[in-house]
Amino acid sequence: MTDVLISGAGVAGTALAWWLRRHGFRPTVVERAAAPRDGGYKVDVRGVALDVLDRMGLSDQVRGRDTGMRLARFVDAGGRQLATMDAALFGGREGDDVEIMRGDLTRILMTATDSVEYLFDDSIAALRATADGVEVTFAGGTSRRFDLVIGADGLHSTVRRLAFGPGSAYLRPLGHHIAICTVPAELGEERVELMHPAPGRTVGVYRTAGAPDARALFLFPSPADAPDHRDVAGQRAALARAFAGAGWRVPELLAALPGAPDLYFDAMSQVRMDRWSTGRIGLVGDAAYGASPASGQGTSLGLVGAYVLANALAAAGGDPAAGFAAYERRMRPFVDANQQLAERNLKGMVLGSAAQIRFQTLMLRLMPHLPGRERMIRRVTEPIRKAATAITLPDAPPRPA
C-alpha cells in the first residue's frame, strides 16, 4: 500500500485524502493548526467542482450548508443605500452553484475522511528524498518515511519552499491586500452582503442565516511596509492606517479587530510555477496554482485538483513521475483559465475613483429597468462559467478489491 503524506487540512488536502483512500492509498494529513479551523470567508463551488462533490456523495451535505445569502447592498460613507443586487449575481453564481462557509466545507470533508490519520498541531520541518521514498522530519521532532509527499498547504506552502525554493520566486502579487475576520453579529445584516466602496479601498460585512457572528472584508492597495502574514499586531496596525478616516461602520469594524479570533491578512497573489512536482513530492491547490481570492475559484480549483491528482496517481500504478505528469497535463489549461479571472474581477472589487463608484452604482440601479438585462447578466457570468467548466474530468479507475 502506498503511504502518502499530505501537508494541510484545508479543502484541497482533505479532498485529496478522500480520493487517495478511495483508490487504495494510505494517506496521512499533517496540519499546523491545533484543531480543525472554523474561520474563513464564504466560498463558491461551481462548474466541474460540483461534479467532484457529486462523485464523492457529498453534494446534499454541501447544499444543506448553503449560506442562504439573498442580497448585496451598496452603501455610502453615511450608510445611505446606493444600489442593491441579487446575492447570486453579485457572487457570479448561476444554476446549481453553491456558496458555503469555508469552515463548513472543510468539516464536511474531514468527517468523510474520519478513518484517515490526522496529525494536528504539527508541520513538516525537513524533507529528504531517498531512492524509494521521502524521509520527513516533523517540527514536533519525529521522523517518518512516506512513498509520496503532497503539499496542500496554501499560498505560503512549506512543502513548496522545502522542495522548490523560496516562495518569492513563485508568488505574483496583484497589487492589493485582503483582510477577513469575524466581527460581532450586530455589525452585519442577516443574509445581506453590505458593501461600502470608497476610492481605492472596499469594506464589506455580512451575516449568514442564523449565524452567531458576522464576517468582515477589507480590500486595499498593498502597503510598501506590509507586515508578515503571521504578524497579527502589525496587520491590525496596517489596517488602521489603510482605513484611517473611512466612514460608514469602518471605525466599529476596526475596533473589533483585537477581539477577532481568526484574522486573515495577506497580499492578493497568485502562484505561478513551471512544474508542480519534483521526484516524489507534488503540490495541489493554492500551494501549486493559487488563483487569489479575486478569482472566486480557489475552492473549486482545490477540489478539482485533488480529484485529478488522485486519479492520475492511481492510473499510473504507483509511478509518481507518470502520475504527476498526467495530472499537470490535464490541470494546466484549467488553472490558466481560472487564474485569468482574477485581474478582471479585481478591477470591479476595488474602484480607483469616486467617479467610477458613481458610475458603477448608477448601472446597478438602472440594470433592472434596462432592455437586454438578461444579456447583460450573461456577460457578467459567462467568463466565470467558461473557466469553471474548462476541463473534462477523467473517469475514476475501478476501486481496488
- Structure confidence by residue, pLDDT tens digits, 140-187: 999 999 999 999 999 999 999 999 999 889 999 999 999 999 999 999
pLDDT exceeds 80 at position 56: yes
Lowest mean pLDDT among 14-18, 195-199, 373-377: 373-377
Domain coordinates in residue numbering, the chain: 3-38+49-66+102-170+270-344
% the chain with pLDDT above 70: 97
CATH code assigned to 3-38+49-66+102-170+270-344: 3.50.50.60
User: Given this model, what pLDDT does residue 367 score?
Assistant: 75
Q: Which residue has the higher pLDDT, 40 or 317?
A: 317
**Does the pTM of the predicted model rise above 0.75?**
yes
The 3-class SS string of the chain reads CCEEEEECCCHHHHHHHHHHHHCCCEEEEEECCCCCCCCCCEEEECCHHHHHHHHHCCHHHHHHCECCCCEEEEECCCCCEEEEEEHHHHCCCCCCCEEEEHHHHHHHHHHHCCCCEEEECCCEEEEEECCCCEEEEECCCCEEEECEEEECCCCCCHHHHHHHCCHHHCEEEEEEEEEEEEEEHHHCEECEEEEEEECCEEEEEEECCCCCEEEEEEEEECCCCCCCCCCHHHHHHHHHHHCCCCCCCHHHHHHCHHHCCCCEEEEEEEECCCCCEECCEEECCHHHHCCCHHHCCHHHHHHHHHHHHHHHHHHCCCCHHHHHHHHHHHHHHHHHHHHCHHHHHHHHHCCCCHHHHHHHHHHHHHHHHCCCHHHHHHHHHHHHHHHHCCCCCCCCCCCCC
pLDDT exceeds 90 at position 230: no
Q: Which residue has the higher pLDDT, 63 or 343?
A: 63
The residue-averaged pLDDT of 110-130 equals: 96
